[in-house]
Amino acid sequence: MNTIQKIWKGSPNFWIGRKGYKPELIVIHIMDGTLSGTDAWFANPASQVSAHYGIGENGEIHQYVKEEDAAWHAGRVDAPSAKLVKANVNPNLYTIGIEHEGKPEDKWTDEMKQASASLIREICQRWQIPIDRDHIIGHYQIYSKKPDCPSHDKKILNELVALASQQQANPSLVEEGIKKIEEGLALIKQTLK
């Protein structure tokens, strides 16, 4: 599998390992600021926050924490609405956090959406996470006191899931399509003789 390009930035704010848990959910966030500002904030030990990834409006992907480790992006829980949030377990232990550049009212760029969908697809393949709205959630679905994270427009989550799903080409269907094209070309050549 080809992995997409990520720029390692690193953050001191994480737990090594996941205390026996593995990634099961992807949490989508909005930075409420810029990619460079988030780089600086996550690099600061005093901030006590991080995420695994940050995506800029231009589609550039920064990585702050290894997926095998627990980033500090979704530890507070308040009236969770996501079905798969575990009772009495810190969500940081079983989630991967992806931050997105901008503010909650901003319209997301196509470059940012495409990069996010590609990253989501890659993470889901790596950890065998289904690409659906039960497993790809907004931060607000864990922490209701952030109702606009990742966006005022909650349809962005459905759009990311749809884009990530479309990018999942079934190899057998692709091969079948190529075979049919080759058969069609052979028929055309015969007809032209």
Q: Is the pLDDT of residue 64 over 90?
A: yes
Other CB atoms closer than 10 Å to residue 64's CB: what's the count? 26
43 located within any domain: yes
Q: Could you report the per-residue pLDDT of 102-129, keeping only the tens digit for each?
A: 999 999 999 999 999 999 999 999 999 9
Report if residue 2 sits inside a domain: no
| pLDDT exceeds cutoff 80 at 180 | no
> CATH number of the domain that 69 lies in?
3.40.80.10
Residue 39 region, left (φ>0) first, then alpha (ψ -120 to 50), else beta? alpha
Q: What is the mean pLDDT of residues 177-181?
A: 73
pLDDT at 78 over 90: yes
**Bigger pLDDT: 61 vs 173:** 61
Mean pLDDT of 158-162: 97
Whether residue 171 is contained in a domain is answered as yes
Looking at the 3D structure of the chain, how many domains does it have? 1
pLDDT for res 21: 98
25 within some domain: yes
Domain that holds residue 113: 7-192
**Within-domain flag for 1:** no
